[in-house]
Amino acid sequence: MNSDVLVRAEGVGKKFCRTLKRGMYYAGLDLARMMVGGEPERERLRKDEFWALDGVSFELRRGECLGLIGPNGSGKTTMLRVLNGIFPPDRGRVVLRGAVGGLIQVGAGFHPKLTGRENIYITGAIRGMDRRQIEARMEEIIAFSGIEEFLDMPVQFYSSGMLVRLGYSVAAHMEPDILLLDEVLAVGDVAFRYKCLAHLRQKMAAGCTPIFVTHNMEQLSFLCTRVLVFSRGRILFDGDVDEGIAVYQDVLTEGGRKGQREAGRIEYDPRADVAFLEVASHPDGLIRTGDDVVIHVGLEVREPVGPLALRITVESPVAGNIATLEPLRAGVEISGAPGRRVLEARIPSIPLLPGAYALKVLLQERDSLKPFMRLVGPRLLIGARDERRARFLLTLRDQWRWCDPTEVSWCRDRADGALEAIP
């Protein structure tokens, strides 16, 4: 194993049973086999068992940050718990090099009857530190957590945000080589979350390797250098963060479409419908920042209805809804008279930076707001496929110039009366 590789997972598989009684029965059978020198059943799935992880393999090097994303139940937390030693893998193996710190659950590892200070000592002792080493870090831990006045209070009276503050401060300041975090930064105030993200960037520069489970794409983009997208216990994607976010968005979209009569479409009232939505200016679907984009929307009204309202929402997988396109705002009204017609929307010099953006359509009655249908349209792919995705969303096409000092009161009011020349 290369000295720079701190984490290696090789064909990791972990299975669980869906029912408690049957799971306890299987555990008894496996224990009996082990008592007579046999091996527990690891390869074959028995009734009601399923693979929570199936053939997961990856490596992580020092100073990298790996993000684990995917729908609920896809195996992210199970993978983190296998890495932390909470669950042994049923197949494959995990190799870790260096000290491991983890915050897998809010308040995990803290004794509720003990104070915050006492829990810091216990956590350090569990990780093999003596009292002198713990006390050397104590002030730094307390200062970072920001809960000094509550440190001598039993943690059972802490709020979830206070537990996260203390838990993260303890885990991150025990000098781990590998730091495991499972959605813990979803709890707590915004200021502390950004404080943690900045601290993690510093830890990465010092050689720490975080593994980060989150549903917050903004945090993922800010922190991670690489992402694994999980689906049904398997790795669906391993690579660039922004490409991974686009894959994750596809997985969520496909999951949300299940059970609908037609993929990407929900119909509430068949009298009016959006027949199609297409990016007419770019048939290949590939757009570059600054291109003029033309979108065509086909409308079909089958029976007379009231005046209609159409809204197209542009959605980023990182930031959610970022813009809406509405013909009514441009003075274009949509009649409820029967017939087929096509609306055209023009977006001059589109300001979106490289990434994948979803178009979502809502057609409703203008006055009552009664919906007729919703449609998940084609994605806007901004930038070349091999181009690294942007960390931000928009370019404002800003223009700069030097001001004439005689026009600016701040320059005119200088005490010495001197004006600086324009370079």
What is the predicted pLDDT for the residue at 49?
A: 93
Picking from 21, 20, 90, 15, the residue whose alpha carbon sits closest to that of residue 49 is: 15
| Residue 372, domain CATH | 2.70.50.60
Q: Is residue 84 part of a domain?
A: yes
**Rounded distance between C-alpha atoms, residue 229 and residue 245, angstroms:** 8
Q: Are strands 66-69 and 209-213 parallel, antiparallel or unpaired?
A: parallel
Domain check: are 238 and 322 in the same one?
no
Same domain? 246 vs 271: no
Which of the pair, 400 or 34, is modelled with greater confidence? 34
**Does 149 share its domain with 225?**
yes
pLDDT tens readout for residues 241-284: 878 887 887 777 565 444 333 346 888 899 999 998 999 999 88
pLDDT band at 111 (very low <50, low <70, confident <90, very high): confident
The DSSP element (H or E) to which 219 belongs, if any, is helix 217-223
Structure tokens that stand for 386 in this block: 């091999």
Same domain, 91 and 112: yes
- Residue 302 belongs to what domain range? 265-382
Given CA atoms 16, 19, 20, 25 in this order, what sign does their dihedral have? negative
Q: Is residue 29 part of a domain?
A: no
- Provide the token pair at 112: 């509720």
* Whole-number CA gyration radius for the chain: 28
Give the pLDDT mean for 86-101. Answer: 90
Instruction: Kindly state the average pLDDT of the residues 171-186.
Output: 81
Number of independent structural domains in the chain = 2
Could you tell me the two tokens for 319? 């930031």
Burial 261-286 (b: 16+ CB within 10 A, else e): eeebbebebeebbbeebbbeebeeee
pTM: 0.67
Residues 211 and 205: beta-carbon distance below 8 Å: no
Kindly state the tokens that stand for 139.
């002030």
Compute the distance between CA of residue 307 and CA of residue 41 in angstroms, rounded to an integer: 65
Q: Is the Cα torsion angle 20, 22, 25, 30 positive or negative in sign? A: negative
Q: Are 218 and 318 in contact (CB under 8 A)?
A: yes
Looking at 255, 285, 314, which one is the last position of a domain? 255
